[in-house]
């Protein structure tokens, strides 16, 4: 199985996937930590893929999405974005709307608290 096959299988078999440096419980870069922290705080169930554990996946995900940086968030097989985009979407409420539209369970009150804290 190629890296691309593995990536495609991962994003199609999981509703929410974060390709990141480290794991959701132990992120290994600030950007990955921020996105994993938002998802964890909002109570979103997500699969984490540590790109540091596999160089093929680390390079392959950049080609798969045509996006040069990590972390990368996927929801229902669709690439959402990296840290800056996810942060902006969280603060604007767009991430809530995306989760609602895709049927992803999340804690709306926690999302509101993030916005209140950053207002």
Instruction: For residues 65-75, give the mean pLDDT.
Output: 97
Instruction: For residues 2-7, give the mean pLDDT.
Output: 95
Per-residue pLDDT reduced to its tens digit, 16-67:
999 999 999 999 999 999 999 999 999 999 999 999 999 999 999 999 999 9
Q: Is residue 115 part of a domain?
A: no
Per-residue exposure over 77-113, b if at least 16 CB sit within 10 Å of its own CB, e if not: eebbbbbebbbebbbeeebbebbeeeebebeeeebee
Q: Is residue 68 part of a domain?
A: yes
Q: Is residue 64 part of a domain?
A: yes
Q: Is residue 17 part of a domain?
A: yes
Domain CATH for 58:
3.40.30.10
Q: What percent of the chain has pLDDT over 90?
A: 98
Q: Is residue 70 part of a domain?
A: yes
Tell whether residue 83 is among the known ligand binding residues: no
Q: Is residue 117 part of a domain?
A: no
Q: Which domain holds residue 100?
A: 3-110
Mean pLDDT of the chain: 97
Judge whether 22 and 50 are in contact, CB under 8 Å: yes
pLDDT given at position 44: 98
Asked whether residue 119 carries a pLDDT value surpassing 90, the answer given is no
- Work out how many domains the chain is built from and give that number: 1
pTM: 0.96
């Amino acid at each position: 199985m190629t890296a691309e096959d593995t990536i495609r299988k991962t994003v199609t078999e999981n509703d929410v996937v974060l390709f990141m440096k480290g794991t959701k419980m132990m992120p290994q870069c600030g950007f990955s930590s921020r996105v994993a922290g938002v998802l964890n705080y909002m109570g979103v169930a997500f699969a984490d893929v540590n790109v540091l554990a596999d160089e093929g996946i680390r390079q392959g995900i950049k080609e798969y999405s045509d996006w040069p940086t990590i972390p990368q968030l996927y929801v229902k097989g669709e690439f959402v974005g990296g840290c800056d985009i996810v942060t902006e979407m969280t603060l604007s409420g767009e991430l809530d709307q995306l989760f609602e539209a895709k049927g992803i369970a999340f804690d709306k009150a926690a999302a509101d608290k993030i916005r209140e804290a950053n207002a």
